């Protein structure tokens, strides 16, 4: 495989991560408008919101079996348009069954999209022989910032959902289809087996530590995305405007942290980077819980962003290294726990906040994230570490 082809594949995959970030942000940041458009009651809304990650988990499971028969590049090529068209469907309908159908399609396609993107990303990292996964997830964070900004503009100018979504879909859908022509895999499963000498089944007991870390990371992430504004306004007494700052800062810090994180992994190895990120995120939640003012709370959420941003990409990368002959299967199964964390995090913090206190509730994701320290060794099997002083021999040398 030529260096140029690998570089083109890397850029096209990063663009897919970016598009996914835009689409997801446009959906979740306009939930109040979606609720108003379709007359969804407060009692029914949680069911709609829970259905998306549940169906995404189903989509990830289906992808595990699908990629045994077809290339993950085909799954990604056709699931991304479904995500974008489903988003447009959410904005175009008027009846409750229409939004239910659109959200259902969105959830199933997102599960297939997330799984296949990370499968291809891990295979490209294997071909490069050095850490590049954080860069793909940085593109996702950038897409989230762009999508949230577009959603703010739509709300600010009182645009309908359809008018807000249509230009984005018209611009991104053909671009994603064209970009999909350059998707590449860093090696087939058979080639990976020949490198290791034998096939290796995915043993869930071995994968479990990474599944737990993925869950903990998304519990922390969903805490920030769902509760940071309410925490600043209700607990720290901020204004409505200031209450919107933590999530925006959080997204920016995840972008910055992921943009530079690959250099840290190459220099120090995955384990120190994961440990540092874990401690930083836990410290951030402590600062949030102890904050006496809005800006101290924002500083805490900033630390959380810098800490959590490295965990998810490195968890996918570690799964690929742990099961080199069955990385697609491992990543599809691991991806399910992305949605498990999302489902658990927000209700857990909300229930504890109502029953106890929101300050105390912030210590729960802190404690769960801190458990990652016990599983840090799972991120770098001794015979396959990336980074200066740890890098394995490379089959290809790319710039």
% of the chain exceeding 70 in pLDDT: 91
For residue 388, is pLDDT > 50?
Answer: no
Give the per-residue pLDDT at 329: 94
3-state secondary structure of 396: coil
366 vs 383: which has the higher pLDDT: 366
Residue with token string 């996914």: 20
Residue with token string 């860093």: 186
Q: What is the mean pLDDT of the chain?
A: 90
Q: Are 21 and 147 in contact (CB under 8 A)?
A: yes
Q: Are 27 and 84 in contact (CB under 8 A)?
A: no
CB neighbours of residue 279 within 10 Å: 16
CB neighbours of residue 178 within 10 Å: 11
- Select from 145, 167, 137, 149 the least CA-distant residue to 315: 137
CATH class of 3-187: mainly alpha
Containing 357, the helix (H) or strand (E) segment is none
Q: Are 189 and 328 in contact (CB under 8 A)?
A: yes
325 vs 293: which has the higher pLDDT: 293
Q: Which fold has domain 204-379?
A: Growth Hormone; Chain: A; (1.20.1250)
Question: What average pLDDT does range 360-380 have in this prediction?
Answer: 95
Q: Are 15 and 139 in contact (CB under 8 A)?
A: yes
pLDDT tens by residue, 266-324: 999 999 999 999 999 999 999 999 999 999 999 999 999 999 999 999 999 999 999 98
Residue with token string 């959830």: 107
Binned at pLDDT 50, 70 and 90, residue 226 comes out as confident
Residue with token string 């490069």: 128
% of the chain exceeding 90 in pLDDT: 77
For residue 398, is pLDDT > 80?
Answer: no
- Select from 210, 209, 211 the least CA-distant residue to 339: 211
Compute the distance between CA of residue 199 and CA of residue 343 in angstroms, rounded to an integer.
34
Give the per-residue pLDDT at 390: 41
Token code pair at residue 357: 């206190």
Q: Are 13 and 124 in contact (CB under 8 A)?
A: yes
Give the per-residue pLDDT at 3: 85
Backbone angles phi, psi at 391, to 5 degrees: -75, 135
pLDDT tens by residue, 99-152: 999 999 999 999 999 999 999 999 999 999 999 999 999 999 999 999 988 988
Give the per-residue pLDDT at 231: 93
The dihedral built from the CA positions of residue 152, 346, 316 and 334, taken in this order, carries a sign that is negative
Give the per-residue pLDDT at 198: 47
Compute the distance between CA of residue 133 and CA of residue 131 in angstroms, rounded to an integer.
6
240 vs 109: which has the higher pLDDT: 109
Q: Are 165 and 292 in contact (CB under 8 A)?
A: no
CA distances 42 to 17, 32, 35, 54, 95, Å, are 32, 10, 8, 19, 17
Binned at pLDDT 50, 70 and 90, residue 1 comes out as low
Binned at pLDDT 50, 70 and 90, residue 382 comes out as low
Q: Are 224 and 302 in contact (CB under 8 A)?
A: no
Residue with token string 């994968």: 207
For residue 395, is pLDDT > 70?
Answer: no
Question: What average pLDDT does range 228-237 have in this prediction?
Answer: 92
Compute the distance between CA of residue 77 and CA of residue 257 in angstroms, rounded to an integer.
28
Residues of the chain within CATH 1.20.1250.20 domain(s) are 3-187, 204-379
pLDDT tens by residue, 142-194: 999 999 889 888 888 999 999 999 999 999 999 999 999 999 987 644 444 44
Range of lowest pLDDT (23-37, 77-91, 117-131): 23-37
Give the per-residue pLDDT at 391: 42
């Amino acid at each position: 495989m030529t260096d140029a082809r690998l570089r083109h594949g890397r850029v096209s995959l990063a663009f897919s991560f970016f598009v996914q970030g835009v689409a997801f942000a446009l959906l979740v940041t306009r939930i109040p408008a979606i609720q108003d458009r379709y007359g969804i009651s407060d009692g029914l809304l949680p069911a709609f919101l829970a259905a998306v990650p549940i169906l995404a988990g189903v989509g990830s499971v289906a992808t595990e079996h699908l990629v045994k028969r077809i290339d993950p590049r085909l799954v990604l090529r056709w699931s991304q348009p479904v995500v974008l068209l489903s988003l447009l469907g959410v904005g175009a309908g008027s009846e409750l069954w229409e939004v239910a159908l659109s959200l259902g399609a969105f959830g199933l396609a997102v599960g297939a999209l997330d799984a296949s993107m990370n499968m291809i990303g891990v295979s490209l990292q294997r071909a490069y022989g050095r850490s590049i996964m954080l860069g793909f997830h940085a593109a996702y964070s950038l897409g989230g910032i762009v999508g949230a900004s577009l959603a703010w503009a739509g709300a600010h100018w009182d645009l309908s959902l359809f008018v807000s979504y249509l230009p984005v879909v018209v611009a991104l859908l053909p671009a994603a289809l064209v970009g999909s022509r350059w998707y590449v895999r860093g090696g087939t499963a058979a080639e990976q087996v020949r490198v290791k000498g034998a096939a290796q089944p995915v043993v869930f007991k071995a994968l479990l530590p990474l599944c737990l870390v993925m869950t903990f990371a998304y519990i922390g992430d969903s805490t920030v995305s769902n509760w940071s504004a309410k925490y600043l306004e209700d607990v720290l007494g901020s204004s409505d405007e200031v209450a919107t700052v933590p999530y925006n800062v959080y997204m920016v810090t995840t972008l910055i942290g992921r943009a530079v994180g690959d250099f840290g992994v190459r220099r120090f190895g995955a384990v120190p980077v994961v440990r540092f990120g874990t401690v930083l995120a836990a410290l951030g939640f402590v600062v949030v819980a102890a904050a006496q003012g809005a800006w101290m709370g924002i500083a805490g959420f900033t630390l959380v962003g810098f800490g959590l941003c490295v965990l998810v990409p490195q968890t996918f990368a570690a799964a690929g290294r742990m099961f080199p002959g069955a990385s697609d299967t491992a990543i599809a199964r691991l991806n399910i726990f992305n949605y498990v964390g999302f489902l658990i995090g927000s209700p857990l913090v909300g229930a504890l906040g109502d029953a106890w206190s929101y300050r105390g509730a912030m210590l729960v994701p802190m404690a769960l994230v801190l458990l990652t320290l016990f599983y840090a060794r799972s991120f770098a099997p001794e015979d396959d570490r990336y980074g200066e002083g740890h890098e394995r021999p490379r089959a290809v040398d790319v710039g």
